Amino acid sequence: MHALLARTVPIYWGSDTVGLDFNPAAFIQCRDEKDFDDVIRRVQTLDQNDEAFLAMLNQPAFAEGALEKMSTRRLAAFLQNIFDQPLETARRRPRYGSTRVYEKNMRRLLEAPGSVKGAARSVRDLFRSARSRFK
C-alpha cells in the first residue's frame, strides 16, 4: 500500500490472495514469475519502457469490487471486534520474524540513559521551566 501511495510500482512477494484486494495490474507479483531472474527482467522492462511503466503506474490500486467490500459498517464491526477482546487476544502483531527483534531494540533504545525518551523528558522539563518564567 505504501508504494502505491508513493506513486511507485510495488514489487510484492507475499500472499497469493493479494489480488482479491489490490489490482494485480498495478504491481509486480513475484510469485507470478517463474524465478527471481524473471522478476528482474520485468523491472528492467518497465524501467526501459516508459509507456509500460506509466500504464502500470496509472492502474487503479484496488481490485474491482474491493472498495465496496470495505464499507464503514464492516470496518466499524472489525474494529469493535478487536476492542471487545481481551488485550492478548486482540494482539495483531506477529510473534515471529523481525517484529520481536525490532520491538526489543526499540525498548532498549527508549530505556537507555540519554535516550530519545529521556531527551523528550528533558525538552518537556525545559519547556515547562521556561513557560513558568513567563507567567
pLDDT, average across residues 33-51: 92
Q: Does domain 2-90 have CATH number 3.40.50.11660?
A: yes
Closest by Cα among 29, 25, 26, 36 to 12: 29
More confident residue, 37 or 101: 37
pLDDT-derived band at 115 (thresholds 50, 70, 90) equals low
Helices assigned H by DSSP within the chain: 2-5, 36-48, 50-57, 66-69, 72-83, 87-90, 98-111, 116-133
Rounded to 5 degrees, φ, ψ at 62 are -95, 150
What pLDDT sits at residue 135? 46
